[in-house]
Every structure is written in structure tokens, then in C-alpha cells.
Amino acid sequence: MAHLTWTTRTRDGDDPTLPVCLPSDETIDLPPQPAPFVALPAPSERPWLSGFRVEAELGRGSMGRVYRAYDLMRKRAVALKVSSEASADARARVLAEAELQAQLLHPAIPRVLGQGALPDGRGYLLQDLVHGARSLSDAARGARQAHVVLWAARAAEALAEAHGRCVAHGDVKPENLLVDAHGRVFVIDWGVARLGRCERRSSARLSPSLEEFAERQGSWVQGTLAYMPPETLQGHPGPASDVYSLALSMVEAFGGEHPFVRLMDDANRVVKRVLYGPAVCPPAGLQPALGELLRRCLDKDPAARPTSLELAEGLRAFAGGTRPGPLRSRAGA
């Protein structure tokens, strides 16, 4: 088992008052990998935002595109997410994402730096750039099992911050769990996150017009089919669904492929498998304590799963390291 120690660092170019806990020996141990592909968008496709220079396209998903942009005033790179359409709904979706994400304060959740409408009517969200980002699956290839366990623990802590504010992410999957060049994990894409009702801590809020918009959106099942637990397919996603999806992402990271990879070209077969088939099993060969923890997270009954915080604690206990508080450094560091 890797010996894991923790130290405190600031994110490159970021507010130096915001420390981030890092597994110190993990920042140097990642296998060498080619730099992630970034495309230069054609000038006609490049969004225009005053004060920023759009430099490269970082990725695209169902909601829109994400660009690396340079903040000319603050002299640092940021991530700019732009809705695919200029419709009022597409704009509201990005603004709702920005409002919710802005209320989640955790080092493993990119900070929201701004939001609004571009001159062409598309909605945008400016956030911390995850430098050299790779998806959890890509980062896991060739990484030690202990890295994946710690990334998942960190992601579970970020989800616990959201769950404590009654926000369920709703689309946890390897592409939304980014590992940066230093080996730090970030939970991104809060675009289908939902506000639930809970009595714990203060709930996150949306402005009234976006609240109304979110109500309308809430009647749809949103997210990524391959990572949805049974209750999401039945229209009742919640925090426990995030725990399931994170565990499934770990199963994929450990096993090298999604457990339903051979069903993927037929959505109906995936749905039937999830609803009526046996629960997903962790890959053989995992240490029993880790396999058992994942098996509990993949229970078809959401009430039988551990909470995100229990998952984080279980993973940390498994990794054998001391569990750092979110902003605490190693003694003496």
C-alpha cells in the first residue's frame, strides 16, 4: 500500500489564500502522458467576450462547448463554458449551473468567476481552469490503484459538500471527474444538478426565475444513461444516485472499461440491465474491503448505500492515510 502524506499548496495562478490539500507524493508519480489534445476553434466559431481572449476548445458535451480563455485583466487562464444555443432556455440552463456551482465551496469544485450572456445571446459561465485536465478513466490508465482511491475520496468529499447543501450533481461520470496535471481531482459540470429538500445546513438557492426554470427541467430524467442508477431511471435521482455513479466510475477506472460496454449501442438493453438485472459487481481482484465498499455503493436500493461522506471516509480508511480536513495541511507542513 502506498504511503500517502498530504501537504498544502495553492493552485497555480490562483488566489494564494485558497489552499488545496494534495497528496504530496502523488503529484510526481503520475505516469508520463501526452499533453491532452486542445483544438484551436475557427475564428468564426470563437465566442467573443470582452476582456478575454478565447484560445482553444477544451471539450464539448450535451450543453455546449468549453474553451480555454485568457483573462486579459487578471492575466490568467480560465475555462469558459458557452451554451450550444442562444435560446432563453439554453441560456437559463447555463446561468442556473453557474448560480448553483457558485454556492459550492470546495477545493475540488472549480470556482465560478462569472456568468452572463454573450453578445450573440448564448449563455456563458467562467470558472477555474483545470490545467492539463484528463478524465478519471484516462488518468487512471497506468496510475496506481491508490491514486484512483484518493481521487474518488476527494470527489466524494466534494459531493458531500453539495449534498450538505441539498444539491445532487446528477451526472457523475469519468468525463466530469477531471484530474489536473498535478494529480488533483475536480468535480465539474453541475449542469443537471438538482436542488432537493433537506434540513441539514443551509440549502443552496437559485434566483426565483431560475428556480422556476429548474422546476420545469426537474420533470425530465437528465444525465448520462450508462452511469444512472435504477432510481434515476425511474425519475427519482438524489444524493445516493451520485454515490452509485461515482462507484461505477471507479469500477470503470479499475476494470479498464464500463461494465456494460457491450450493451452500449442499445439504450433499451442498458435500461433493462440496470432496472431488472443483478447489481453491478466491482471487478474481481480488488482488495476485499474496497470491493465490499463499492458493492454497497452499487446497491440497487439507494437507501442501502453509504452517504458520500461515508464513502469518502471508507476510501480514506482503505488508503490508510490520515484523513485531511478540506483546508488542513499536514502537521508542520
Ligand X SMILES: Nc1ncnc2c1ncn2[C@@H]1O[C@H](COP(=O)(O)OP(=O)(O)O)[C@@H](O)[C@H]1O
Interface residues with ligand X (CB under 6 A) are 58-64, 66, 79, 81, 110, 127-130, 133, 175-176, 188-189, 191
The piece of 6-14, 22-30, 57-65, 298-306 that touches Mg ion (CB under 5 A) is 57-65
Name the binder of 113 from Mg ion, ligand X, none, CB < 5-8 A by kind.
none
State which residue, 11 or 165, has the beta carbon closest to ligand X.
Answer: 11
Q: How far apart are CA 179 and CA 203, in angstroms?
A: 28
Distance CA 19, CA 275 (A): 42
Among 97, 189, 231, 299, binds Mg ion (CB under 5 A): 189
Q: In angstroms, what is the minimal distance from the CB of 12 to ligand X?
A: 13
Q: Which is nearer to ligand X, 81 or 258 (CB)?
A: 81
Nearer residue to Mg ion within complex by CB, 36 or 61: 61
Whole-angstrom CA distances from 217 to 23, 176, 208, 245, 264 are 38, 20, 14, 21, 26
Q: Would you say 21 or 187 has its CB closer to ligand X?
A: 187
Q: Which of 56, 52, 20 is nearest to 35 (CA)?
A: 56
| Nearer of residues 34 and 208 to ligand X, judged by Cβ | 34
* Residue 140 CB, nearest approach to ligand X (Å): 15
Least distance from C-beta 62 to ligand X, angstroms?
5
Of 61 and 132, nearer to Mg ion (C-beta) is: 61
Q: Which residues, listed in sequence order, are joined to residue 123 by a DSSP beta bridge?
A: 117
- CA dist., res. 299 & res. 305, Å (int): 6
**Minimum distance, C-beta of residue 128 to ligand X, in the bound complex (Å):** 6
In angstroms, give the least distance from the CB of 191 to Mg ion: 7
Q: CA torsion, points 12, 322, 150, 131, in degrees to nearest 10?
A: 0
Q: How far is the CB of 126 from ligand X (least distance, A)?
A: 9
Which residues in 215-274 contact Mg ion (CB under 5 A)?
none
Which of these segments, 122-130, 175-183, 207-215, 275-283, binds Mg ion (CB under 5 A)? 175-183
How many chain residues interact with Mg ion (CB under 5 A)?
3
- Residue labelled with grid coordinates 499536514: 330
Q: Which residues bind to Mg ion, rule: CB under 5 A?
A: 61, 176, 189
